Amino acid sequence: MKKRASEIAARGATGLGPAPFAPRPAPERAEKGAPASVPPRYPLEPAPRALARAREFWGRFRVHYFSLFGLVALAFIGLAVSLGPVLYGIDPFEIVSAPFMEPGGGNPLGTDYVGRDVLAGVLSGGRASLSVGFFAALFTGAIGLSVGSLAGFFGGALDAFLMKVTEFFQVLPTLLFAMVLVTIFGPTLWMETLAIGLASWMSVARLARAEFIKIKELDYVKSAVSAGAAPRRLIFKTILPNALPPILVAAAFDVSFAILLEGSLSFLGLGDPNQMSWGLIIGQNKNYALDAWWTIFFPGFAIFLSVLAVCLVSDGLNHALNPRARKSFS
């Protein structure tokens, strides 16, 4: 190192102006003047609270009015189905008046073909539809993420095997597969959830795999490897957080898909018969659709509105979760 000082001096003194890489006095560094033995100590600023991060996320979410609308609609539906049945107080399976009573009058949304209250049905039915939708999407995400991340990260034979399994599931018609599972294992709410999850995890798996394959080739992963990171750390700390936003968005969209699937199963009479659900109401009244529109319109609209709300919210998530959209540090 010593010889360099003279070399540089010589280079600087060649008279050709400043040498390209000749050291210039660095004022900042000179002021700091940190001797090698006594490193400077900097006080650490307090960690940003989770609240601040949540606020930032919210700030990016709320600028999308449609997503905001979706969130409001979802909150409204959630409140209605959780508190509604209690407040309304009418058993959805109880025959309360004559069949096919028009909306208004004693029954706000009319009665169905046996004289059950449609509003009570819509309010109670939402519980099954929404909870199955939510938990099925959770299940979908869990399977899809595990399969996809393992396949994408390790590649090779494991990847080939897992992708073959995924393709095997993918060629099964979704609804038919769910129907078969529910028929075999019994029509309970949990079975419906599992069946929907098992029938629809493939797209998340493929997405997760693609993200992992893409990200594991990036420099920051290589840099983590060169800093000595083990596979587990790479998967969970380095790659997963970067792969998560699109997967979360896909999983949120899956909620709406699961709501639709649950509706289809119930419509076909394969849902839990002891559990009121939107699909069940529509399925039971389908023959009278032209005479008593309200029997299928209101549960149908409830499905439409929840699916729309979930889609809009997941769209908003997409915007808010993109790390590159984060505003600059100040």
Based on the shown chain and the rule CB under 8 A, indicate whether residue 10 belongs to the binding site for another protein: yes
Site residues for another protein, window 204-223 (CB under 8 A)? 218-220, 222-223
Whether 256 contacts 311, CB under 8 Å: yes
Cβ proximity to another protein: between 48 and 89 the closer is 48
The CB-of-224 to another protein minimum distance in angstroms stands at 7
Tell me which stretch binds another protein (CB under 8 A): 83-91, 127-135, 230-238, 291-299: 230-238
The CB-of-164 to another protein minimum distance in angstroms stands at 21
**DSSP, res 259:** H
From residue 161 to residue 200, the character string flagging contacts with another protein as x (rule: CB under 8 A) and all else as - is ----------------------------------------
**DSSP, res 67:** H
Site residues for another protein, window 238-277 (CB under 8 A)? 238, 241-242
The CB-of-148 to another protein minimum distance in angstroms stands at 18
Cβ proximity to another protein: between 41 and 164 the closer is 41
Q: Return the residue of 38, 157, 226, 274 that touches another protein, per CB under 8 A.
A: 226
Give the count of alpha carbons within 13 A of 288, CB side only.
18
Whether 294 contacts 110, CB under 8 Å: yes
H helices of the chain, in order, are 2-12, 27-32, 50-61, 65-88, 118-154, 156-170, 174-185, 189-200, 202-216, 219-226, 231-233, 240-267, 278-285, 293-321
Based on the shown chain and the rule CB under 8 A, indicate whether residue 16 belongs to the binding site for another protein: yes
CA-closest candidate to residue 148, choices 99, 102, 67, 211: 211
Residue 24: which region, alpha, beta or left (left: phi > 0; alpha: psi -120 to 50)? beta
Whether 251 contacts 261, CB under 8 Å: no
**Cα 212 from chain centre:** 17
Based on the shown chain and the rule CB under 8 A, indicate whether residue 86 belongs to the binding site for another protein: no
Cβ proximity to another protein: between 29 and 164 the closer is 29
Based on the shown chain and the rule CB under 8 A, indicate whether residue 237 belongs to the binding site for another protein: yes
Based on the shown chain and the rule CB under 8 A, indicate whether residue 230 belongs to the binding site for another protein: yes
The CB-of-155 to another protein minimum distance in angstroms stands at 8
From residue 39 to residue 68, the character string flagging contacts with another protein as x (rule: CB under 8 A) and all else as - is xxxxxxx-xx--------------------
Q: Which long-range contacts (CB under 8 A, 24 or more apart) does 7-11 make?
A: none
Number of residues located near another protein, criterion CB under 8 A: 49
Cβ proximity to another protein: between 236 and 304 the closer is 236
How far does the chain reach from its first CA to its final CA, in angstroms? 39
